[in-house]
Structure 1
Amino acid sequence: MRKLISGMKITVDGKFEGPQGYAEWVEAWSDDYGVMPEVDACLLGGGMYPGYEQYWTGIQNEPDKPAWITGNPPTPAELEWARFIAQTPHYVLSRTLTSALWPNTSFIRGLEEIAALKQRSGKDIYLIGGARTTASLIDAGLVDELRLIIYPLIAGEGKGLFATTERCRGLELRKVQQLQCGRVSLIYGID
């Protein structure tokens, strides 16, 4: 069975989004989790998908122009990710969205379709988010691995990654890696 791997960038106090509605501490949205060699599909929630599609389409179409979220030109790693996802099927969990600009995008309407997707042959699936989708899929027992990059700051106000999680989940620490600027990468298996 394919694994569903979630990757999130959070603060020490577990925030994935600051009070302004985005993660202002994140300088780039590249594959810092090492999933590219391991996955051949991406899964997103319907709330996150429109902004994701807009952000990466902008980088694909104008790779020298500053990205609208960061205000900085794309990093080489972001350009690499933009090329990768242009060829990668995307699945969007949504009861309301019905169209997407990207040709490799399909819509999933329920958890049973995600379970069926995991049963198909292929590499693993990267759960990009958002946080509400990630929490609900963890609660449903569909997420197999959680990859976190912890930023060394306390956001205080903002949205917590696990604020909507309904029940306690055991995690098995699989890997710890210290990154630049005091960040830490943690990989957990989810019971």
Structure 2
Amino acid sequence: MGKIIVSHNVTLDGVGQDPTGEEGFDRGGWANHLSDDDRAAWAKVEHEEAVAAAAMLLGGRSYDWFASRWVARTGEWADRLREMPKYVVSTTVTELPWPNTTVLSLDAVGALRQQVDGDIVVYGSRRLAHALFDLGLVDEVRLMVYPHVAGAGDRVLGATATRLRLVDARTVGDNLAFLTYRTL
């Protein structure tokens, strides 16, 4: 049985909205302020997570965002993401430019969890993450915490009360914290 892992970049106050500033959120772009050393350390952690994952689960908008940036990239990380099975929870995605992608309904995620052996990582996809929490399907949460307070914005962890247990905390680079929690 697979484990569904919500993995997200967040500000210190839990905002996951518009980290690159491309969505036009007036408080977005907070992930662009890393030093080169911190960015390299972040990339190493993200690459390791992708190598260890069995599959990726995305919402439609996040799939479009990732596919538009990773389809043409080269290198070991891009190759891993390209070969990894990707599942998109969407009723609107019709074009699948990224290889090994399957569209499914939210109702099918529980069955997917039974079929996949290993980590099913949810990147971005805040609305999908909220729905998965609501359904009790999240097994683990990984947060890369940036040293920035947005003050407002959409948070990764939604309104569903969820008990978590910290299982790992470490510094990434000089300024990031990587926190791993398991649901109880």
TM-score tier, shorter chain, comes to 0.7 to 0.9
Aligned runs of 1:1-191 on 2, under 5 Å? Answer: 1-18=1-18, 20-21=24-25, 22-26=28-32, 30=43, 32-33=45-46, 34-60=48-74, 79-111=75-107, 113-162=108-157, 165-191=158-184
AA at the equivalent of 1:99 = E
| One-letter amino acid matched to 1:8 | H
> What is the RMSD computed on CA atoms of the aligned residues?
2.1
Q: What TM-score, normalized to structure 2? A: 0.82
Q: Quickly say closer, same or farther: Cα 1:91–1:144, change in 2 above 3 A.
A: same
Please report how far the alpha carbon of residue 23 of structure 1 lies from its aligned counterpart in structure 2 after TM superposition. Answer: 4.3
Q: 1:101 to 1:152 in 2, by over 3 A?
A: same
- Label 1:169 to 1:109 Cα distance change in 2 as closer, same or farther (>3 A): same
- Unpaired runs of 5+ in structure 1? 61-78
Superposition deviation, residue 5 in structure 1: 1.1
The amino acid that maps onto 1:189 is R
Matched to 1:15, the amino acid is V
> 1:121 offset after TM fit, Å?
4.5
Distance 1:190 1:31 in 2: 25
The whole-number CA distance in structure 1 between the counterparts of 2:100 and 2:130 is 25
Per-residue Cα deviation, 1:150-188 (whole angstroms, up to 9, x for no partner):
1111122432223xx232110110011122232111000
- Give the Cα–Cα distance (whole angstroms) in 2 for the partners of residues 37 and 97 of structure 1: 26
**2:30/2:148 contact within 8 Å kept:** no
The answer to whether the 8 A contact 2:11-2:145 is kept is: yes
Which residues of structure 2 form unaligned runs of 5+? Answer: none
Could you list the per-position Cα deviations for residues 93-135 of structure 1 after superposition, in whole angstroms to 9, with x for gaps in the alignment? Answer: 0012122112311001123x11111111422211113111111
Aligned partners of 1:3 and 1:124 also within 8 Å: yes
Q: Supply the AA of the counterpart residue of 2:182.
A: G
Structure 1 outlier segments of 4+, above 4 Å: 26-29
The DSSP-based 3-state class of the residue aligned with 1:135 is helix
The answer as to whether partners of 1:145 and 1:189 remain within 8 angstroms in 2 is yes
Question: What is the deviation of 1:24?
Answer: 3.6
Q: TM-score, normalised by structure 1?
A: 0.79
